[in-house]
Amino acid sequence: MPVANDERVAEGFLHVNGLCKEYGDVRAVSDVSFALEPGTFFALLGPSGCGKTTLLKLLAGFETPSAGEIHLGGDVITHVPAFRRPLNTVFQHYALFPHMDVTKNVGYALRQQRPRIAKSEIQSRVDEALLMVRLDHLGRRRPWELSGGQQQRVALARALVAQPSVLLLDEPLSALDAKLRVDMQTELKSLQTRLGISFVFVTHDQGEALSMADRIAVMRAGEIVQDSTPQELYDLPVDSWVAGFIGTMNFVPGTVTGASGGLTQITTDAGRFSGIPTTSDLTPGRSAQLALRPERLCLSTPGSGDTATAECTASGVIESFSFHGDQVDCTVRTRTLGAVRVRIPLAGAAHEINLQPGTAVDVGWHPKDARIVPTWNSASRP
């Protein structure tokens, strides 16, 4: 972890060390540490109640930590009041002032500042912020005369007008409908890239985090359990909980029975599988899961030879399937692996298979496409 109280530390370099927040018996944030280079899109991802908002409030200065430190640009800001921190927050419920037009809403915080900022400067900063969010033509409208997406952009402009070095966003898109949400994801990402400031973006939507973030911190019960790039997180989840939380995963429980050349062997009720990459240091005897992504599996009609190149196969029967335009998701009931979800593109081999419940199929896969992840259960730490 880089040292932050260094004169050469860039403005906007955010460094959090051992941050904790307790509410009575509840440990909402537990020993959280990370360092963000300026210009990073950092997603905080986790289920409801895992401490995302609390962590954001600690960064913003709306809550005082029970322990730990926050450094920004080399300064310790742990106990600096919220209004003096060069951070700004966009909340889920952005509560615009209904009696003020867009321009007044965006300039509100600047008008409150003491010593006073000149009117002309406020005007030019508001204009600049509205231009950034492409609302420069709607400055005279009241909030109720705007669409949901436009209101969200006013809230963004209101946060950006203060020229923060880090922007904190708490589920800012959750009030928007699905189509608008996707448009705003693209817009937010390109805005962040243009501004070159860090965004700390809270979401419980893993698709949103995977598509937008440079780095994702997955939170569970107040702790960051994995902090990596979206690709790493998807490909090498640290345990079975993270593997199941990010995307869809098939699990076969077993025990680690050996390792060689960086690859691991697992023994399950369905047999022994070798040559599989693992995401953690797993010693023999450890309870683990064979983890298979649905899109890494192939499907064939028994005897057709289509899965002949797959090193591992399991025969079964299609239990159900759903159509998604360019691909289908099938649940196959296999004798050895149990129910397995398989995702196949509609082009290619899928044409040859009668994709109906009751059809006998073979599921095939390669050990290098599987992962072995340590089993996590609520009794595990953390």
Ligand X SMILES: Nc1ncnc2c1ncn2[C@@H]1O[C@H](COP(=O)(O)OP(=O)(O)OP(=O)(O)O)[C@@H](O)[C@H]1O
Both tokens of 174, joined, read 């959750």
- What are phi and psi for residue 137, nearest 5 degrees? -90, -5
Nearer Cβ to ligand X (27/104)? 27
346: DSSP letter: T
CB of 85 to ligand X, least distance (A): 19
Member of 125, 153, 204, 341 binding ligand X (CB under 6 A)? 204
The rounded distance, in Å, linking the Cα atoms of 289 and 321 is 25
Q: Which does 48 bind (CB under 5 to 8 A by kind): Mg ion, ligand X, none?
A: ligand X
Both tokens of 340, joined, read 């397995």
Stretch that binds Mg ion, among 51-59, 209-217, 238-246, 283-291 (CB under 5 A): 51-59
- Beta-carbon neighbour count of residue 206 at 10 Å? 19
Member of 4, 14, 16, 28 binding ligand X (CB under 6 A)? 28
Is residue 206 close enough to count as binding ligand X by CB under 6 A? Answer: no
Query: How far is C-alpha 77 from the chain's CA centre?
Result: 26
Number of residues that bind ligand X (CB under 6 A): 12
CB of 89 to Mg ion, least distance (A): 12
Both tokens of 184, joined, read 């705003």
CB of 167 to ligand X, least distance (A): 17
Is residue 85 close enough to count as binding ligand X by CB under 6 A? Answer: no
Q: Which does 317 bind (CB under 5 to 8 A by kind): Mg ion, ligand X, none?
A: none
Best CA proximity match to 96, nearest among 141, 59, 163, 35? 141
What track of x and - describes contact with ligand X for positions 32 through 61 (by CB under 6 A)?
Answer: --------------x-xxxxxxx-------
Q: Which does 143 bind (CB under 5 to 8 A by kind): ligand X, Mg ion, none?
A: none
Burial 163-189 (b: 16+ CB within 10 A, else e): ebbbbbbbbbbeebeeebbeebbebbb
Helix axes 119-132, 178-195, angle to 10 degrees: 120
Q: Which does 26 bind (CB under 5 to 8 A by kind): ligand X, Mg ion, none?
A: ligand X
Q: Which does 240 bind (CB under 5 to 8 A by kind): Mg ion, ligand X, none?
A: none
CB 373 within 8 A of CB 282: no
Is residue 53 close enough to count as binding Mg ion by CB under 5 A? Answer: yes
CB of 360 to ligand X, least distance (A): 43
The rounded distance, in Å, linking the Cα atoms of 269 and 87 is 53
Residues that bind ligand X (CB under 6 A): 23, 26, 28, 46, 48-54, 204
Residues contributing to the site for Mg ion (CB under 5 A)? 53
